[in-house]
Structure 1
Amino acid sequence: MKTMFSIKDKIKACGKRSLRLAALLPLGLFSFPFFTSCSDFINQDSDRVIIADKDHLNSAEDTLYSVVGIVNKLQAISDRTILLGEMRGDLSDINANTSADLRDVALFNVNDTTNAYNSPADYYAVVNNCNYFIAKADTALKNNRNEYIFLKEYAAVKAFRAWTYMQLAQVYGKVPFVTDPILSTVDADKDYPKYDMQQICEYFLKDLQGLETIEKPGYGSIRGVASRFFYFPIYILEGDMNLWLGNYRDAAVCYYKYLSTRNGVNTGYPTGTSGVEWSRTSTHWDMMSDGFASFFREGSNYTANSELVTLIPGDSIPSEGNYSQLRNLFNSRSDNNYSASIVPSQSLINLSAAQTYCHYTSTRNVIYAPSGLDNYRSGDLRLSSAFATRKMDNLVHNKTIDYVINSKHSDQNVQVYRRSMVYMHLAEALNRAGFPRFAFEILKNGLNDEGIQANVIPYYKNDSAWIAQFSFPSNMYVRRSGAYPALTSENTMGIHSRGCGWSEYNERYVMPDDSTLTGDARLQYQIEHVEDLIMDEDALEFAFEGQRYYDLMRVALRRGNPAYLADKIYGRRGADKVGEMRSLIGKDLYQTANWYLPLP
């Protein structure tokens, strides 16, 4: 009996009236220098092509049907959202079980249309459905309570479209840009310009303006998944777009507006104090409490304290067609003959072990955990929470196998945004806006007004008015006190503490500075080195979540230094195997043109 989520069930419940959902298939990236025609690539019989059976969407039933249909199309790209951003980075690696297609992704050898992970048509299926809804929805229509019927869905669909185009730009570089629905070969035969990330971000910053505070559609719980997790918050999208564009102050304000309004006006959305840590009553490094792994089992309940922000719901059984394979790639399961295909890279293992865990005992003593502990328990503990192996006797094959568990990919849903991502992107934006100490506060102590006044304002007095708009009231953002047991009101700590203990007491984790420098030279030193800490923290917090490759790309482009990305990826298996990786990878990553997949 099927017990999990199936979007098809929800669609069937909405009635027989339907749109045939479809995709636009673009020509190759280099077919035309500026424009791409889609003629000959439209399949009128495909279930991916929108063929309208009505001229307008004008009923409440249409809103539900259309939005759920778009989420259905998002399912088709959910795995790639993780894999294309993860396997091309430096934190995950392949093994003997990895398929040829995924191996080619990891080694930058995707050169043709036969690779299962290179299908832009699926992205354009989302785009074309969004374009249809935006063009056809009667946004002036009201119900008998004088409420706009389509407004919530209209904002949500515009956000779906913006996010999908950003994914396309990250994966392919320049892509055909289409904002009208393609409903016929006449439409498909038109020439469409190709937009890069900058053009896409500039367009959608204007397109989304004014929609940020519109409430999201509420469809309740669908097969155990809270539908409020389906949507992409517009403030976060605008923050990310400004981050890519280099509008760092604007990006920071967008992220702050999300954090300060997520739970309503005059409310907070603090980091929480959950992580993975050694027990405060033990100094023998043998008892651990893990609140980190639970972040990846959220989805059933949307609460004020949810770590999860956005997910793409997956079907529960393979026959549904949009079944996520991530759990079979990252874990040992009967479905994959207990053979996981993705493992931590040596680079991630080394980075995790290089961190200093600061232990704050129940008697308020500071102790630093030793190195050399097994099972990824040296340094940062998040890797040990996310990834574990154990020996298991496989009776079917009469042998002992390495049984792999990855807690970040344990169910059918694919997580896209988390609370800590918003905070870390806020740190990235504040740092590049010229406030590295403000950014470092997010890493080490956690944000509240008291800390900002003590550790930030004194260093940026000329910008105190701008900083003042970032208010994290200390009665809503209560930092850890060190009391044992912890006070129930405590809800804020530095992101680094999620895996490295009590960073606020860690004298080895300090603000980078060089007092021999002065003025702008000193500030630039701080900015670059805090950015290095932010990228390390992103790796420790978000490994296996599909963020890494794009984080490296963004920083490398910002610094005008392709080697920043290339050297880290060539170092995936450690410094002693850089030559091996360069020979295996099929592209020269010092050339930015080789960072993208080719459009078939």
Structure 2
Amino acid sequence: MAVMKRKNPTKIRFGIMIWAWAALSVGMASCSDFFDPSQDLIQEREDHYNSLEDVRRGLTGAYAGLQKVVDNVVVMGGLRADLMTVTGNYDPFLEQVENHGMSPDNPYASPKYFYDIILNCNDVLENIEKSKADPKMTDEVADAYRAELRTLRAWTYLQLAQTYKEVPVIKEALNGHFGDYEPERYNKVKMLNWLITEMEWISEQEQLDWREFDNKKVELWTPYEVVFINRKALLGELYLASGNFEKAATTFYDCIINDGDGKDDPKLKCSSLTGGIFWDDTWQRVEDGTVGMEHLSVIPFDNRKHQTHGLMSLFSNATQHKYLIKPTEVAVNKWQGQRGHNFNFDVYRGLNKSYAVVSDDTLVNKYMIGKSIYESDAVYPIYRAADLHLLYAEATNRAGNPAEALGVINTQLKGSPETAGIRGRVSLKSVEMDDLRLRYPNAGSEMELVEMALLEERALEFAFEGKRWNDLVRFAERAGRPAWLADRIAAKYATDPSKREEARKMLMDVSKWKIDMPTLK
């Protein structure tokens, strides 16, 4: 349990404001629709958790909170890095993010919505025992619900640990106590150790069937099949962050080979995209169904139910939007610099896919593929197959298998004949070790050469998804080479030498890579 002490009210407060949100949002979603805010399901606190149905609503309500963190994840994970930059349309908070100088009131650096999710999870977890008055809530079912709630909470804490120097950790419900508390603060190492312990317990528990959350018990695929955060993917990510590369590789491989619908499920294999199916089809709207192709875990939005995020206003130059963030020339040049078998650039992931040019403006296009204007029902992917393949390659490379890792990037995952490779499935030529030696003459080993290839491939595959900053930090910290991060981010200021040098100098100081947790009120 977290150490929670009385403290001076002038410091961090966890009081009425956060508890009230948690108490109200627990019942946001019905069992037939995860993310439908129109459902009038808010109950009095004393009526909660008398049945399995109440716990089910608590879980879906906690997951509904994910829709509110997407803007923060994409902005903080992208704008601080090298692939996104602000436009000339001024927004002081976004400029703060890009310049790594966030004020305490910067909404993109706020942990509020993350703690809403955590407190909702804690509230349900503490009351599961009460629900055992319902005979349907057996010990096995109760542990399955605990596992899903603790998985969501673990993923949320990991996001905080990647942003802040120290993270206040709350492991229990506040139970409506309107007091002042001092939760124990975890640094990265302590957070990872705790979360790994959590996820190792969770990995042994039964998983809930998503169809239990749909009254119609539909047999066809729906986006809710991939709403729950994938346990193996998260545990592998935690092992990787902690430096346990062999366990990370084993966990990612197990997920790729055995999850989904089993060993013959092409969704997790990064198979060749043929038969009229293309890379960008995975970015279609929820109701189009193609979102399930390579996705393990997503946050869906549906504008028919008035669900929205802020990405369209940030990225679109349509009249009704603000166009505040755009791709950098560095990002565009990465796709343009690729070589395919029958073309001279990345046609599957580049122009009119990840980015577009509209009325002479360069736009982030990934969330609006196939649409004439931005709509609010694009999915946000938490984990997809390409991520698992490249994370596996990263782990196995560090475990001493650079040739195998390079194969995953190019054409093949061992033991999986269905796999076409990350580059192979989009018809790009393979990256060879000799090419990497010429491109990165200062790399000290084949392992470092493959890490350079992985950083480049992750940029091509995951640009604008909020992963880039954490990728740069992870690779640079692990290698003990801050220049891997500083040089790449400074390069986006190529037309402003003074700003380029200023950014590089600042980012060579690793203490600037994380920020202080703002006061929570």
Q: Is the TM-score greater than 0.5?
A: yes
CA positional deviation for 1:37: 6.4
Kept in 2: contact 1:205–1:241 (CA 8 A): yes
Q: Determine if contact 2:15/2:180 at 8 Å carries over to the other structure.
A: no
1:238 is aligned to 235
1:344 corresponds to: 327
Q: CA offset at residue 403 of structure 1?
A: 7.9
Partner of 1:579: 498
Shift of 1:274: 1.9
Q: Indicate how the Cα distance of structure 1 residues 155 and 407 shifts in structure 2: closer, same or farther if over 3 A, else same.
A: same
Is 1:426 the counterpart of 2:418? The answer is: no
- 1:581 to 1:182, Cα distance in 2 relative to 1, 3 A: farther
Partner of 1:382: 349
- The Cα RMSD (Å) is 3.7
Give runs of aligned pairs for residues 279-358 of structure 1, distance below 5 A. 291-297=278-284, 299-300=286-287, 306-314=293-301, 316=303, 323-336=308-321, 339-358=322-341
Say how many residue pairs are matched: 476
Aligned residue among 192, 214, 217 for 1:220: 214
Could you tell me whether the CA contact under 8 Å between 2:482 and 2:507 is conserved in 1?
yes
Residues 177/263 of structure 1: CA separation in 2 closer, same or farther (3 Å cut): same
Q: How does 1:75-90 map to 2 (within 5 A)?
A: 75-90=67-82
* Cα deviation, residue 196, structure 1: 2.0
Aligned twin of 1:175:
167
- Counterpart secondary structure, 2:358: strand
Q: Deviations over 1:261-319 (max 9, x none)?
A: 2124554431121289xxxxxxxxxxxx871211111644879972122122336389x
Contact persistence 2:166–2:516 (CA under 8 A): no
Deviation of 1:163 (Å)? 0.4
- 1:189 corresponds to which residue? 180
SS of 1:181's equivalent in the other structure is coil
Name 2:122's counterpart in structure 1: 131
Task: Supply the distance in 2 between the matched residues of 1:416 and 1:313 (Cα, whole angstroms).
Answer: 10
Counterpart Cα distance in 2 of 1:512 and 1:216? 47
Helix, strand or coil at the partner of 1:171: coil
Tell me by how many angstroms 1:127 deviates. 0.8
- Secondary structure at the counterpart of residue 571 of structure 1: helix
Q: Does 1:588 align with 2:506?
A: yes
Match of 1:65 among 57, 63, 78: 57
Distance 1:301 1:551 in 2: 31
Match of 1:255 in 2: 252
Structure 1, unmatched stretches of 5+, are 1-25, 277-288, 360-368, 371-377, 392-400, 450-471, 479-491, 515-521
The answer as to whether partners of 1:88 and 1:108 remain within 8 angstroms in 2 is yes
CA contact (8 A) 1:92 1:544 kept: yes
Q: Counterpart of 1:441?
A: 407
Partner of 1:464: none
Matched with 1:494 is 421
CA distance in 2, matches of 1:513, 1:61: 56
Aligned to 2:156: 164
Matches within 5 A, 1:415-564: 415-449=381-415, 472=416, 477-478=417-418, 492-499=419-426, 501-503=427-429, 506=430, 509-510=432-433, 525-564=445-484
Counterpart in 2 of 1:43?
17
Q: Is the alpha carbon distance of 1:89 and 1:290 closer, same or farther for their aligned partners in structure 2, counting shifts above 3 Å?
A: farther
Deviation at 1:510, TM superposition (A): 4.2
Change (3 A) 1:97 1:37: closer
Confirm or deny that 1:271 pairs with 2:270: yes
Distance in 1 (CA, whole Å) between partners of 2:517 and 2:451 is 32
Q: 1:310 to 1:301 in 2, by over 3 A?
A: farther
Return the letter of the residue paired with 1:227. Y
Q: What percent identity do the matched residue pairs reach? A: 23
SS at match of 2:400: coil
When Rg is computed on C-alpha atoms for both structures, the one with the higher figure is 1
Q: Which position in structure 2 is the counterpart of 1:407?
A: 366
Residue type of the alignment partner of 2:116:
A
Shift of 1:118: 2.4
Deviations 1:544-595 (A, max 9, x none): 1111000000011101222221121111233x54532344x59821222212
Deviations 1:90-116 (A, max 9, x none): 011111125221222112121222x22
Distance 1:417 1:221, change over 3 A: farther
> Tell me, what secondary structure is at the counterpart of 2:484?
helix
Task: Classify the secondary structure of the residue corresponding to 1:598.
Answer: coil
Residues 439-469 of structure 1 deviation map (CA, whole Å, 9 limit, x = unaligned): 01101112243xxxxxxxxxxxxxxxxxxxx
1:424 and 1:258 mapped to 2: Cα distance? Answer: 13
How far off its partner does 1:141 sit? 7.0
Contact 1:512–1:530 under 8 Å retained in 2: no
| Structure 2 SS opposite 1:176 | strand
Partner of 1:96: 88
Shift of 1:252: 0.6
Q: What TM-score, normalized to structure 2?
A: 0.81
Structure 1 Cα separation of the partners of residues 436 and 67 of structure 2: 45
Runs of 5+ unmatched residues, structure 2: 27-43, 370-375
Q: 1:304 to 1:202 in 2, by over 3 A?
A: same
Q: Which structure has more helix as a fraction of its residues?
A: 2
Say whether the 8 Å CA contact 1:79–1:324 is kept in structure 2. Answer: yes
- Local SS of the residue matching 1:572: helix
Seen in structure 2, the aligned counterparts of structure 1 residues 154 and 352 have a Cα distance that, compared at 3 Å, is same
Alpha-carbon separation, structure 2, partners of 1:171 and 1:306:
30
Look up the match of 1:453.
Answer: none
Worse overlay, 85-94 or 66-75: 66-75
CA distance in 1, matches of 2:104, 2:234: 31
Report the 3-state secondary structure (helix = DSSP H, G, I; strand = E; otherwise coil) of the residue aligned with 1:127: helix
